[in-house]
Amino acid sequence: MAAPTSYDVIIIGSGPGGYIAAVRCGQLGLKTAIIEKYSTLGGTCLNVGCIPSKAVLESTELYQKATHQFAEHGIDADNLRADLPRMMARKDQVVKKVCDGVVFLMKKNKVDVLHGVASFVDATTLRVAPSDGGSGEEQQLTAKNIIIATGSKPSTLPFITLDKERIITSTEALALRELPKHVIIVGGGVIGLELGSVYARLGSKVSVVEYTDAIIPTMDRTLGKELLRSLKKQGLEFYLSHKVTAVERAGDTVTLTAQGGPSAELKLEGDYCLVSVGRRPYTEGLNLAAAGVELDEKGRVKVNEDLQTTAPGIWAIGDVVRGAMLAHKASDEGVYVAELIAGKTPEVNYLLIPGVVYTWPEVASVGYTEEQLKEQGKAYKVGSFPYSASGRAVAGADTEGLVKVLTDAQTDEILGVHMIGARIADIIAEAVGIMHFRGAAEDVGLMSHAHPTYAEAFKEACLNAAGIGALNM
Ligand code: FAD
Ligand code: NAD
């Protein structure tokens, strides 16, 4: 084996945590390498997560609009047909384009890319072995700093065997070549609702079985209630407060059994079952013990507030550490660690990491939920504005939704913003911006918002929260 090559920073994993960390390290003049076990760069997000899911959400949303809304706009669109294999082929092209973009970014920022499985030899040395089925020699690399950005994998329940054909995860659900007749979804969280929407829009029957009494249960409760109403109208079926006890496959049929109360057994039969009950941190094969890197009680890499692990010089970011499993959170942490290594004083404000669900209507949230403020005993005010009162929403025939703003009862500072409706995924950025500067609801009320826009609903909700009164309600 050749003598190990030395770097300032080596990053394990090329998802939005790892590749963004690599870009920033390169920009800061650090000699950097990134190791990825798959043949493409981009991790879960670009290959089997954010990007492919948004590609098929977009395609199916267009189809849904064409089949259900065009007539209202005076457009006849008879004999429309969705071609699933073509939609999937487009999605594959989108994925290829964004993954190739990461290869370009690595070159541009002079980051060495190695494909193979990384594991620790000791706290400063990594072994890179060929990935499954790959050929080539094992290599050793050393670095002053190592960033673990190995991400996450889908979780399951102990009694469910994921056969990846009929009992599937999001990865397979994003690559189906036939339209399911009936998809049963375990878990009414983000993945279940986004991918459930995709198949419901194409005509599949979709049943969601959720353990808690609400969908998207970790977001502000108002959002779950509103979204439930909209998705039911779109034909999705929901079984809330149901404890799944079995999922079994016989031939092409999948049967789910759940308990909805002491004597309320539910049995559902479908041709696919999507298990979307969360994701687990991925650290398999890293040999963390050799480097002195410890895990916490949930199997995540243990880190301090600076994302340092229990071993000096080893850092961890993204889905593999505590906090929301979101691409932009992973990227923010990647920049943070790169800048710390370069001697800068970066910051990440975890309270202001927005969450978005790309259903229709879209859902977005930032800051504290009303439930959290109640729990803290905080005195707060609520302002809201319905999309039905927005001229832009009426013109666009997209009147489902609302904006809810939570403010400090004494100071009027915005503490949380929770929105559901058209184009909300982009409007939340305004809420993040104003909260970043610790702005008050009245500040937003004083800012000019172009008319007619969906963003005006945020201003109106702020005027309402500030006690000035919404202008269009
Ligand atoms: P990952 O993206 O998981 O990347 C980790 C990489 O490390 C992988 O490429 C893996 O192969 C590699 N790796 C692991 N171990 C090794 C090893 N030993 N050696 C070498 N390489 C290794 N988030 C959003 O913010 N918005 C969305 O719209 C969104 N949609 C999603 C949709 C779906 C269907 C899914 C599944 C997830 C979605 N997410 C979304 C979540 C998002 O994908 C993750 O939060 C994000 O990818 C985490 O980034 P990461 O860099 O921490 O890890
Ligand atoms: P999730 O945590 O969003 O939802 C899991 C759901 O499953 C919850 O509602 C939970 O109550 C339910 N559940 C748990 N155990 C159950 C059981 N035994 N029976 C029935 N229901 C059960 O997880 P997910 O949807 O799998 O997504 C995984 C991660 O990926 C999330 O952390 C999310 O942040 C990320 N993601 C983000 C986006 C986005 O930002 N738009 C999209 C997809 C995924």
| φ and ψ at residue 97, rounded to 5 degrees | -60, -45
Cα-to-centroid distance, 314 and ligand 2 (Å): 29
Q: Give me the mean pLDDT over the 8-18 stretch.
A: 98
Angle between helices 190-202 and 50-68 (to 10 degrees): 40
Tens of pLDDT along 31-89? 999 999 999 999 999 999 999 999 999 999 999 999 999 999 999 998 999 999 999 99
Please tell me if the CB atom of residue 311 comes closer than 6 angstroms to any atom of ligand 1.
no
Average pLDDT, the chain: 96
With the C-alpha atoms ordered 11, 15, 21, 25, is the resulting torsion angle positive or negative? positive
Helix H or strand E encompassing 279: strand 279-281
Q: Is the pLDDT of residue 271 over 80?
A: yes
| Residue appearing with tokens 């007619």 | 452
Residue among 197, 247, 279 to mutate when testing ligand 2 (max atoms within 8 A of CB):
279
Distance of CA 74 from the midpoint of ligand 1 (Å)? 43
For the chain, what percentages of helix, strand and coil (3-state, to nearest 5) are there? 35, 25, 40
330 Cβ below 6 A of ligand 1: yes
Tell me how far CA of residue 297 lies from CA of 40, 119, 234, 291, in angstroms. 32, 22, 40, 19
Which residue of 44, 328, 333 sits with most ligand 1 atoms within 8 Å of its CB, as the best mutation to test the pocket?
44
Q: Are 400 and 386 in contact (CB under 8 A)?
A: no
In short, whether 331's Cβ falls inside 6 Å of ligand 1 is no
Looking at residue 136, its pLDDT comes to 78
Residue 156 vs residues 64, 117, 140, 186, 296: alpha-carbon distances, Å: 31, 24, 34, 10, 20
- Give me the domains of the chain, ranges plus CATH numbers: 5-154+280-350 (3.50.50.60), 167-277 (3.50.50.60), 361-465 (3.30.390.30)
- 450-462 pLDDT, tens per residue? 999 999 999 999 9
**Active-site entry in 68, 73, 436, 451:** 451
Phi, psi of 341, rounded to the nearest 5 degrees: -60, -35
In this prediction, residue 453 carries a pLDDT of 97
Q: What value does the mean pLDDT take over residues 210-233?
A: 98
Residue 15 CA, ligand 1 centroid: distance in Å: 5
Residue percentage of the chain with pLDDT more than 90: 95
CB of 40 within 6 A of ligand 2: the answer is no
Examine the pLDDT at 4 and tell me if it is beyond 70.
no
* Predicted confidence (pLDDT) at residue 304 exceeds the cutoff of 60: yes
Q: Is the peptide bond before 312 cis (omega within 30 degrees of 0)?
A: no
Task: Please write the tens of the pLDDT for every residue from 188-205.
Answer: 999 999 999 999 999 999
264 in Cβ contact with 274 (< 8 Å): no
Q: Is the CB of 18 under 6 A from ligand 1?
A: yes
| Token representation of residue 243 | 């404890």
Q: What pLDDT, on the 0 to 100 scale, is given for residue 261?
A: 82
Closest alpha carbon to 225 in 237, 234, 216, 235: 216
Q: Which ligand sits nearest to residue 276's alpha carbon?
A: 2
Cα of 320 from ligand 1 centre, angstroms: 9
Exposed (0-12), middle (13-18) or buried (19+): which is 295, by Cβ within 10 Å? Answer: middle
With beta carbons less than 8 A apart as the criterion, state whether 252 and 261 touch: no
Any ligand 2 atom below 6 A from CB of 211: yes
Give the span between the Cα atoms of 309 and 96, in whole angstroms.
33
pLDDT at 134 over 90: no
Lowest mean pLDDT among 2-6, 111-115, 165-169, 396-400: 2-6
**Is the per-residue pLDDT at 3 higher than 90?**
no
Q: φ, ψ for residue 423 (rounded to 5)?
A: 60, 15
Ligand 2 proximity of 431 Cβ (cutoff 6 Å): no
Nearest CA to ligand 2 atom 35: 325
Rounded to an integer, what distance in angstroms lies between the CA atom of residue 406 and that of residue 354? 15
> Following DSSP, what letter does each residue of 386-446 receive, concatenated?
EGGG-HHHHHHT----EEEEEEETTT-BEEEEEEEETTHHHHHHHHHHHHHTT-BHHHHHH
Binned at pLDDT 50, 70 and 90, residue 137 comes out as: confident
Q: How many residues does the chain have?
A: 473
* Structure confidence by residue, pLDDT tens digits, 323-339: 999 999 999 999 999 99
Does residue 186 have its Cβ closer than 6 Å to ligand 2? yes
Nearest CA, atom 7, ligand 1? 13
| Residue 451: active-site member | yes
Cα of first residue to Cα of last residue in the chain, in angstroms, is: 73
Q: pLDDT tens-digit profile of 231-263?
A: 999 999 999 999 999 999 999 999 999 999 888
* Measured distance CA(286)–CA(149) in Å, rounded: 11
Residue 1 has pLDDT above 60, yes or no: no
Q: How many angstroms separate the alpha carbon of residue 45 from the centre of ligand 1?
A: 5
- Percent of the chain residues topping a pLDDT of 70: 99
Residue 430 and residue 454: Cα distance in Å, rounded?
12
- Assess whether the C-beta atom of 434 lies below 6 angstroms from ligand 1: no
- pLDDT tens per residue across span 355-367: 999 999 999 999 9
The verdict on whether omega for the bond into residue 52 sits within 30 degrees of 0, i.e. cis, is no
Which residue's alpha carbon is nearest to atom 35 within ligand 1?
49
Separation of alpha carbons 365 and 428, rounded Å: 7
CA distance 162 to 160: 6
Note the ligand closest to the C-alpha atom of 55: 1
Tell whether pTM > 0.85.
yes
